[in-house]
Structure 1
C-alpha cells in the first residue's frame, strides 16, 4: 500500500507540462527557421522566428498561471532563447545577405550571437537577484526577443522592396553588430510587463488590435517595419525620460 501511495504522490497533472511543451515547440520553430533559411525559404524562416518570439512570451505566463514553475523549466527556456533569438536569426540573416561577404559576415554573426547569449546570462543572474526589471518598468539593454526582431529588419526591408539585394552586406553586418551591442548595453529600454491600461480605454485597445491584425494580414512586412521603427523610438524615449528623471 505504501508503494502505491508513493507512486500516486510522484504523479503530476499532465497540464503542468504545458509550459515546457510550449518552450520545446518554440525551440523547434527556431531550429526549423535555420533549416528554411539555408534552403532559401526566407519568408518562412522569418515567420518561424516570429512564432518563437510569440511562444516565448507565453510559456512563462503559462507556468505562473498553472503554478508549474520549476528550475528545469527556467533552464530549458533560457537554452531555447539562446537558439531562437541568438543563433537562428543570425544564421538566417547570414544565409540571406552575407554568404558572399567572406569572413567579415561571419564575424558579425558571431558578435551578435555571443552578445545575445551574454544578455541572457545577465538576465538570468538579475532574475535570481530579483533585479530583472529596474524601477519604472524598464529593462537594462534590449531584451533577446526584441533583439531578434530588430536584427531581422534587413529582411523586412528586402521583402517589402521585392529585392533580395536591397540592403548591402556591409550595412547588414554593421547593423547586426550594433543590435548585439544594444543587447549587452546598459541602455534602459521599455518593458510592457508593468504597463497598465485604464478600463475605459480597453475597448479602444481591442479595436487597435483589430487594425493591427488587418495590417499584418494585408501588409505584413510594412507593418513589421513600422513596429521596428516604433521600438527604436521607444528606446530613445525611455533613455530620454530616464535622463530627465535623474536630472529632477
Structure 2
C-alpha cells in the first residue's frame, strides 16, 4: 500500500532536518574556501559540520522526531560534508603534487565514504544493529583530515608542499572506514554511571582544546582513529592468551 502525500509529509520533522542542512551548508562552504586557498577556514567548516551532524540525531531522539526521511537526508548531506569536502581539502592542500596518486587517494576517500554510509544505513535497519560503529565513522575521518591541516599550520607547514604523511593517512582513513574495526559510539554516553567524573573530564578536555586547538584537536582525533585497530589487536592478543591458558589447564587436568 502506497503512502499518501499527507502521510509522507507528516513524517517530515523540520527541527532535526535544519541541523542536517546546517551541516551540509558547512560542507559546501568548506569546498568554496578550499578552492579559494583558505584551507584553515575550510578545515574549521568541516569540524563545525561534524558538530551539527552530531546534534541532528540527538535532537531527533530527544524530541521523538526520528524518521526515515531524516536518516536519508543525513546520509546525503554526510556524503558532501564528510566525503567530498575533506577529499578536496586534502587534495588541494597537499595531495595534488603527487599527480595521479594524489587524485586517486582523493577519489578512494570519496568512494569509501559512500560505501561506509551505505553499510551504516543497512546495519541501522537491522533488528540486531551493533551499538558501536563498524568501521571508522566518516565524520571522524573528515575531522582527522581537518585537524591535520590545523596541526600543519601549528608546525609551520605551508600548502603545496609534498606531504607524504598526509597521502598515506588518506589511504589509511579510506581503509578504516570500510574495515570491520569497532569504534565507540557516543550515542550511549549518557548512560555512563559516573556522570560527575565525566563532567569533570569534559571540562578539563574543553580547557585543553581551548588552550591549543590546533594541537589538541589533532591529538584527540588521532587517538580515536587509532582506537579501532588498537582494540582489534588487544582483543586478538587477549583471545590468544585466554586460549593458551585454557589449553594449559586442560593438559594439567589430564
Unaligned segments of structure 2, at least 5 residues: 1-5, 243-254
Trace 1:76-91 onto structure 2 (pairs within 5 A).
76-91=73-88
- Taking the aligned partners of 1:10 and 1:234, their CA distance within structure 2 comes to 40
Cross-structure match for 1:197: 192
Q: Give yes or no for contact 2:24–2:77 (8 Å, CA) kept in 1.
A: yes
Cross-structure match for 1:149: 143
RMSD of the alignment, in Å? 2.6
**TM-score when normalising by structure 1:** 0.84
Candidates 66, 70, 74, aligned match of 1:73: 70
Candidates 191, 204, 210, aligned match of 2:203: 210
Q: CA deviation at 1:90?
A: 0.7
- Taking the aligned partners of 2:69 and 2:7, their CA distance within structure 1 comes to 19
Cross-structure match for 1:122: 119
- Taking the aligned partners of 1:10 and 1:184, their CA distance within structure 2 comes to 33
Q: Give yes or no for contact 2:148–2:218 (8 Å, CA) kept in 1.
A: no
Q: CA deviation at 1:187?
A: 1.9
Number of aligned residue pairs:
235
Q: Give yes or no for contact 2:20–2:52 (8 Å, CA) kept in 1.
A: yes
SS, match of residue 93 in structure 1:
helix
Cross-structure match for 2:15: 18
Cross-structure match for 1:109: 106
Trace 1:130-141 onto structure 2 (pairs within 5 A).
130-133=127-130, 137-141=131-135
